[in-house]
Amino acid sequence: MTQNNLAVWGDPIDHSRSPLLHAAAYDVLGLEWNYARRQVDADGFDSALAGLDASWRGLSLTMPLKERAFAAATSRDRPATLTGAVNTLHFAVDGLRGYNTDVGGLGRALRRQGIEEADTARIVGAGATAASALVTLVDLGARRIEVAARNPLKAAALVELGAALQVLVVPSALGADTAARVDVTIGTLPGGTRLDGSVADALAAEGGALLDVAYSPWPSALAEHWFAQGKGAISGLSMLVEQALLQVRIFVAGAPEAELPNEPAVLLAMRDAVGLAS
């Protein structure tokens, strides 16, 4: 049986732009694959996974399924292992391979804007995406990373991860001392989250370049403060496209490092599909 079925699962899922991105990629590649979306909650994940037949090639996973997918995977790549999160499952001959393409997607989005390295960095928020942001920043060379969160106690796992990666992770309370100068900031707060104006201004003043994973609405509340100070900010849509490209590589060629045939055209079509300027 041909493996031509793919989907994105999550709860909620109606907002997902993954079907647009993947359909654009497979159209350029000339692949008649089906990529759908399905609402699956954490409690229903295991039974939904068990119900898939041999026609399935893989899954993209969004919240709240990344930890469930991590547990289901029979092998995991380095980013998934470090973060405890899997956003991509590939039904391979040797088992269910798990990947976290958010890490690579964040790094590619930053490099696309000319940000090749960073010595110091800040992560705003300590939620699920913060671990992927941390690994990304370490891969960019960061040696000191501040995690600014409403509740700094939630950054404990990030401190442990930083120690394992031999970098200093310093939790701080939003609204306290968040004015230390850094090279780059990654915002991981949910879309629509608004901070006190003076707090956001302080973050922007000393925050270097901003990549905010939020993209709806855009500009995000955080990005507005960067723009107000004449600074640039990268939309989370760029990260979304780049991590999806890595998923396409996995589904087509079996590895996130394997470049696609005519990949520049594939990436251009994916960016166009979500309205990103090329």
pLDDT in tens, 104-140: 999 999 999 999 999 999 999 999 899 999 999 999 9
The whole-number pLDDT of residue 216 equals 87
The whole-number pLDDT of residue 6 equals 98
Active site residue 154: no
The whole-number pLDDT of residue 193 equals 74
Q: What is the mean pLDDT of residues 44-52?
A: 98
Q: How far apart are CA 187 and CA 222, in angstroms?
A: 8
Residue 175 has pLDDT above 80, yes or no: no
pLDDT classification of 177: cutoffs 50, 70, 90? low
Beta strand residue intervals within the chain, DSSP E: 5-10, 34-39, 56-61, 75-76, 88-92, 95-99, 120-124, 144-149, 168-173, 184-187, 209-212, 233-234
- pLDDT over 90 percentage in the chain: 87
Q: How many helices (H) does the chain have, and how many strands (E)?
A: 11, 12
Residue 178 has pLDDT above 60, yes or no: no
Sign of CA dihedral 99, 163, 106, 13: positive
Q: What is the mean pLDDT of residues 21-29?
A: 98
Max Cα-Cα span within the chain:
59
SS percent in the chain: helix, strand, coil, step 5: 40, 20, 40
Residue 176 has pLDDT above 90, yes or no: no
Q: Which residues contact 41 (CB under 8 A, 6 or more apart)?
A: 11, 64
Q: How far apart are CA 66 and CA 70, in angstroms?
A: 6
pLDDT classification of 179: cutoffs 50, 70, 90? low
Q: How far apart are CA 234 and CA 184, in angstroms?
A: 11
Instruction: Exactly one of 57, 66, 76, 97 is catalytic; name it.
Output: 66
pTM of the predicted model, to two decimals?
0.95
Closest CA to 147 of 102, 119, 177, 104: 177
Q: What is the mean pLDDT of residues 190-200?
A: 81
Q: What is the mean pLDDT of residues 172-191?
A: 84
**Cis before 256? omega within 30:** no
The whole-number pLDDT of residue 1 equals 63
pLDDT in tens, 203-246: 999 899 999 999 988 999 899 999 999 999 999 999 999 999 99
Q: What is the mean pLDDT of residues 61-88?
A: 98
The whole-number pLDDT of residue 190 equals 82
